[in-house]
Chains A and B, each alone.
Chain A
């Protein structure tokens, strides 16, 4: 799994690609924390190239969303497709961070 961070104004887009399984998901949380430490309070996670997400990946998303919510920020998820989208919808994690179709719509929200 690879993660690329692209700052866009006062927000940051994290482009994730590959499988977000138990092993690789552990990279995601520190990457988000590093962005939060740099002062970004809105994180947009682009999951367009993610083919699989495990429970560990989902847990990381919930943890980061909670941290951002506490600091007045938000986590936005976009371009999730196939199994990844299905898992987000079935688990109803979308009640914490709604899914967006594009990076632009995620950045434009709020």
Chain B
């Protein structure tokens, strides 16, 4: 275990600066304490506890409770896995380019590490598991915190004789940076998704690039550790608080507007004027292509989809007021009915009614949450 820890330290510009290249080059000669001492645990806690508390505070700040504890834990675990993956990649690259440690730590490591961290937040966004800036920020920060957790464990041995100040600079500052840049990357992607100007894989490129650049800047500024710590400790919370404010405002506006449109459609479906509405006229236009019973199923599918959408928004309204949402025993049956209707309508019929079904990322997010018992 010990040699692994030493090799990992090569990639850290702080370690290179602090101990000097010669020390690092001769790292294999260092005698390392095999056991973790109580002081190490205290330093480790000092570096990571504020980050985890900040993560908990972010989750508490989210009045709609968009992210479940399960997703936060999964994000932390994926961040830890990303750190392990980076260790393997970084070690391999160090062996190939042994003379470029310093440059790699400044420019190469941020690229590799941000790509590894991004795997999970890109997965969450592309599968509509997160759809707002606030939940993407929480999950992104959790991924970064998980990454820092493993990274700091690897520094426990190496810096065990260092003082509290070093741990605050190295552990806390870097941990906040890891969480902050991943959160920012995910938030930028959601912003672009919301504005619908970007689609596909390039949706994630600006956020990922921003995370890499900020990470690299942080690594460059380790010559001035106090300044980089200050930038991370002050900058990240300020940016994330602003993100939360904008996210809640956007969510509130979306919640009201979309819910009113859904209620209006429900009202139309139940009225005698339905055939004169846009939706009714469209369904009537399909009478040449589809038999009446199939068009009936199409209407039922539309109604159930809208009812589910209203149901999800009702839960958000209750959470907005700080009240608990009870489990919904009817949802399972509704989803079973939806499945039956989709099968009955068939792929061609589903294509025909697609213009009537709202399929934005937030609509898919609602369905995902309902299917998972509002998590």
Question: Chain B residue with minimal CB distance to A94?
Answer: B314
Secondary structure dominating the interface of A = helix
Q: Are A90 and B307 in contact (CB under 8 A)?
A: yes
Given known pairs A66-B322, A96-B318, the reply for A90 and B260 (CB within 8 Å) is: no
**Which one of B263, B266, B270, B314 lies within 8 Å of A54 (CB-CB)?**
B263
B267 contacts across to A, CB distance below 8 A: 52, 83
A95 close to chain B: CB less than 8 A: yes
Interface centre among B310, B313, B325, B326 (most CB of A within 10 A): B310
B270, B317, B325: most-surrounded residue (chain A CB, <10 A): B317
Q: Which residue from chain B places its CB closest to the CB of A91 in the assembled complex?
A: B314
Contacts of B295 in A (CB 8 A): none
Task: Decide if A87 touches B263 in the complex (CB within 8 Å).
Answer: yes
Contact B328 A92 (CB under 8 A): yes
Contacts of A58 in B (CB 8 A): 259, 314, 317
Known: A55-B317, A91-B317. A66 touches B323 (CB 8 A): yes
A93 & B260 in contact (Cβ 8 Å cutoff):
no
Q: Is B270 within 8 A of A96, CB to CB?
A: no
Q: B321 on the interface (CB 8 Å rule)?
A: yes
Given A55-B256, A55-B260, A90:B317 Cβ within 8 A: no
Is B233 part of the binding interface, using a Cβ–Cβ cutoff of 8 Å?
no
Q: Please report the total number of A residues contacting B with Cβ < 8 Å.
A: 22
Q: Which of A42-70 contact B (CB under 8 A)?
A: 52-56, 58-59, 62-63, 65-66
A22 beta carbon closer than 8 Å to chain B:
yes
Complex alpha-carbon distance, A82 and B269, angstroms: 12
B62 part of interface (Cβ distance < 8 Å): no
Give residues of chain B (236-277) contacting chain A, Cβ–Cβ below 8 Å.
255-257, 259-260, 263, 266-267, 270
Q: What CA separation (Å) do A52 and B322 show in the bound complex?
A: 26
Tell me the smallest distance from the CB of A47 to a CB of chain B, in Å.
15
A59 with B307, Cβ < 8 A, contacts A87-B263, A87-B266 known: no
Q: Is B65 an interface residue (CB 8 A)?
A: no
Cβ of B315: which chain A residues have Cβ within 8 Å of it? Answer: 91-92
In the complex, which residues of chain B have a beta carbon less than 8 angstroms from the beta carbon of A66?
Answer: 321-323
Of the candidates A52, A83, A93, the one whose C-beta lies within 8 Å of that of B318 is A93
Q: Which 6 A-B pairs have the closest CB atoms?
A: A91-B314, A55-B259, A55-B256, A62-B321, A66-B321, A90-B310
Query: Which residues of B come within 8 Å of A, CB atoms?
Result: 255-257, 259-260, 263, 266-267, 270, 307, 310-311, 313-315, 317-318, 320-323, 325-326, 328
Known: A55-B255, A55-B259, A65-B321. 13 other contacts (CB 8 A): A22-B256, A55-B257, A55-B260, A58-B317, A59-B256, A59-B317, A62-B320, A82-B270, A86-B270, A91-B311, A91-B317, A92-B326, A96-B323
* Chain A to chain B contacts (Cβ below 8 Å), 16 pairs: A22-B260, A52-B263, A53-B263, A55-B256, A55-B257, A58-B314, A65-B321, A83-B266, A83-B267, A86-B266, A90-B311, A92-B314, A92-B326, A92-B328, A93-B318, A96-B318
